[in-house]
Amino acid sequence: MQSERLIFRKFSLDDIDDVFEFGSDDETCKFVTWDKHKNILETEKVITDYFMKNKYCFAIVEKISNKCIGSFEFKADIKNNSLSFGYVLNKKFWNKGYMTETLNFMLGYAFNTLKVNRVSATHIRENLASGKVMEKCGLEIEGIFEDVEFLKGRYITLVYRAILRKNYLKGEKEYETIRNA
């Protein structure tokens, strides 16, 4: 699968150096739920035991460089026809619109191909950039939960966001009307 500047594909061990680059970086890993990678063997284990085994875990690859710059994952709730997601992007590629491009593409995939009813996510309240990406892509705040989880030695406040299929499709039609005017 691909968008204008990005390719979304399954991970392979060829991605190990790129994944270690962002997976071991303090700033990139500041707001993720997992601990940063301490060595390349840890990265290899994550790729083989998690990324490669997860049907809906995608490497985010920059077309121009063919470099794996991040990951995007859906977690399915089959019973309720919904997905939640998480993502990480190498800090060297922040502020270039790549995460917004990724999330827009993945929402289209979720609603138009997988035909889910709801897509949701959380972000740590201090992670304003992630909140901005989700807001740009139409996810609305459903709640803010103070000190809801203990992560990396402290309690964190999570912002819960979601978008429904009907609202996504309505926005898609409005965009088409504006674009074709």
Write the pLDDT tens digit of every residue in 133-174.
Answer: 999 999 999 999 999 999 888 999 999 999 999 999 987 655
Q: Which residues pair with 40 in a beta bridge?
A: none
Number of Cβ within a 10 Å radius of residue 169: 12
Residue pair 87/66 in contact (Cβ under 8 Å)? The answer is: no
Residue 50 tokens, joined: 């998690």
Instruction: Give the per-residue pLDDT at 71.
Output: 98
Residue 85 tokens, joined: 């997601």
Distance CA 67, CA 61 (A): 5
* Positions in the chain short of pLDDT 50: 175, 177-181
> Please, what are the domains in the chain?
6-179 (3.40.630.30)
The radius of gyration of the chain from alpha carbons, rounded to an integer in Å, stands at 16
pTM for the structure as a whole: 0.91
